[in-house]
Structure 1
Amino acid sequence: MHVLELAPVRIAAIVLVGLCAPAYAEDKSSEQDKVDTENLFGFTEGTDTGKKGEQEVILDTIGRFSKRRAGPGGSSYTTFQPLLSYQYDPTDNFTIEPGLFFDTHDARNVAGVPDKSFGTFNGGSLELKYQFQKRTNDSPFSFAVQAEPFYERVQPIEGQGADIFNMDTRLIADARLIPDKLWAGVNLIYDPSVARLRGSGEVDRSSTLSVSGTLMMRITDKLFFGPEARYMRAYDGAFLNRFEGHAVFLGPVLNYQVEDKGFLTLAYSTQVFGHDRDPDFTDHAFDLTHFARHNLRIRFGASF
């Protein structure tokens, strides 16, 4: 009697599990990647945006070191450009990030750069990013577009006073190549610039076109490490009018997740190949007119 009474219950349970199994599998397949790539890479940006209503404070510092010596004697070139920004996510796919730039500059006996040493407030920026899709178990690829107009008061290389308007525009793609182990990111960057020099009123128009890519491997639960490569081309004119030089950079990237809400990213790159079309420097190995020899990026942030 007990077996007969329990049989309908067992059959009902089996049917219920069978009906729920496809739904469960579908839910797992659409589960989003738990690793946030937005700040995972070095000089390459990730596609991810925060959750709706999320906020983040970021200190992002880029340092550039070593340029071509102008003449006999010692030579030094060091610049740091800290950016303090606040990020807000009005939706799950869109971020707004206003920021303030600062600049420290020290140059001595450098070709084409006046001898100067100073630190100053340098301007502001507004980064806007839209992510077209999130990475999931079924779709490990993600794409985004980012535009960052900004105003600077000091030329980034020469350190002279100017009114400079830039528009850093990026097409961003990344992918989870091995679940929970390996991620890749690629950026295509177009950066036009128009500068009016203070005093002379001379207008300088330039632009750069760059491609960057990186691989990041999970070493521990919170530590990621990998190589990064960048190829950069410099042009006279805001619309890639006349090619002036190019450079290839290589270096490592280290990312550490600080608890659940913070991160620290360190990236270093050095120019391993380059060519300058300036007749005075065509026989030199690198393009040190438009780019520095060494680059360092330190980025720290916390969300709330």
Structure 2
Amino acid sequence: MRVPFPRRGARIFAASALAGLCFSAPARAEDAENWRELETKYIFGFTTGSGIGIEGEKEFTVDTIGRFGKRDGRYNATETKYEYEFTPSQFVQFEFGALGSTHDIRNVTDLDDRRQVAFTGGFGEFRYLAVERTSNNPLSVTLAVEPTVRLIDETSGERVHNYEFETTLNADVELLRNRLYAGFNLLYEPEYTHALTNETVRETTLGTSAALSLRLAPNVVVGGEAWYLRHYDDFGLSAFTGDAVMLGPNLFVRFTPKIFMTAAWNAQVWGREVGNPLSLNLAEFQRHRARLKFAVEF
């Protein structure tokens, strides 16, 4: 199955890759055993690693996720998190912030034409490091919960009251010391939406991912990931509506000890909608998604 690469996504990832090459040092010049220990939270793209940072560390992040392509017409939507993060202990991390969105929709079945930029809502996140990596244990596991309130529907751009409670298990394994990492996520994401028309929607997304990232240089990590996602029209997981598989590369670059960037792109390579014989699931998901995150630690 051939999946076209969106021009905008290509430019984002190509620019990010070029930046990584410009700021990296040749891997041969360094001994991986002597490299600084890497925080794994951001090195897997859409898959979140288990790292929670250093005790007392603070961080400000701008994290944009773009979703592109439906069955027909033009569909481009983004959601950006403006996030403050604080790590009060080596096992606990808190995050909170505001959301902004953009929508550019035209001639898409079941969606109104729309072109807008809007304040979307807010979110908070609590992360707990349940299993810590040690010299004798390469596995690290973090549990995370993220409640979100939206005033704008992330798919259609319509005004709504949306409540989401994302719960994830983030795990990673250090396969080669300071060099090669495997990441795994489990996702449970129930949502309740009340539209201005008094219509209510209850839905749930389940997901699992696997990722592999290689540290090419002390400040550059590249890799790839795969996601399997399932959608239900209820909270009890009895009204299955479709699923999808998404694949793509990712890049992590640390420009300075306190400034870094993550870039990722996924394409839907397989999917099905219940009751629709056409390939791919473009009702609950999208053809492509891209991520670009910049962060400053202090």
Question: TM-score under structure 1 normalisation?
Answer: 0.85
Give structure 1 stretches of 5+ with no counterpart: 1-32, 70-74
Is 1:301 the equivalent of 2:295? Answer: yes
State the distance in 2 between where 1:211 and 1:197 align.
29
Aligned residue type for 1:96: F
Q: Is 1:58 aligned with 2:61?
A: yes
How much has 1:133 moved relative to structure 2?
A: 3.0
The equivalent of 1:262 in structure 2 is 259
Aligned partners of 2:236, 2:59: CA distance in 1, in Å? 34
SS at match of 1:110: coil
- Helix, strand or coil at the partner of 2:40: coil
Aligned to 2:110: 112
Q: C-alpha separation between the residues in 2 aligned to 1:182 and 1:224?
A: 9
Once the two structures are superposed, the pairs formed by residues 128-143 of structure 1 within 5 Å of their partners are 128-143=126-141
Aligned length: 265
Distance (whole Å) between structure 1 residues aligned to residue 51 and residue 245 of structure 2: 26
Aligned partners of 1:50 and 1:93 also within 8 Å: no
Query: Contact 1:225 / 1:254 at 8 angstroms: preserved in 2?
Result: yes
Picking from 189, 192, 216, the partner of 2:187 is 189
Maintained 8 Å contact 1:49/1:95: yes
Match of 1:289 among 283, 289, 293: 283
Q: State the match for 1:153 in structure 2.
A: 151
Task: For 1:239 and 1:57, locate their aligned partners in 2 and report how far apart those are by CA, in whole Å.
Answer: 36
Report whether the alignment pairs 1:232 with 2:229. yes
CA contact (8 A) 1:229 1:248 kept: yes
| Aligned pairs (5 A) from 1:1-304 | 34-69=37-72, 75-198=73-196, 200-277=197-274, 279=275, 282-304=276-298
Please give the per-residue CA displacement for 1:63-101, whole angstroms capped at 9, x wherever unaligned: 0001011xxxxx210001010000011111100000100
Distance in 1, Cα, partners of 2:156 & 2:181: 37
| Native 8 Å contact 2:94 2:126 kept in 1 | yes
Rg larger in structure: 1
- C-alpha RMSD of matched pairs (Å): 1.5
Which sections of structure 2, spanning at least 5 residues, go unmatched?
A: 1-35
- Matches of 2:186 and 2:54 in 1, distance apart? 25
User: What is the rounded CA distance, in whole Å, between the counterparts of 2:62 and 2:242 in structure 1?
Assistant: 31
Give the 4+ runs in structure 1 shifted more than 6 A: none
CA distance in 2, matches of 1:261, 1:284: 47
Report Cα offsets for 1:217-256 as digits up to 9, x if no partner: 0111211111110000010012323100000000000110
Take 2:280 and 2:69, find their aligned partners in 1: how far apart are those partners?
Answer: 12
Instruction: Tell me what 1:30 maps to.
Output: none
Matched-pair identity in %: 35
Name the CA distance, whole Å, in 2 between partners of 1:273 and 1:266.
22
TM-score (norm 2): 0.87
* 1:41–1:185 contact (8 Å) kept in structure 2: yes
1:283 Cα offset (Å)? 1.4
CA shift for structure 1 position 134: 2.5
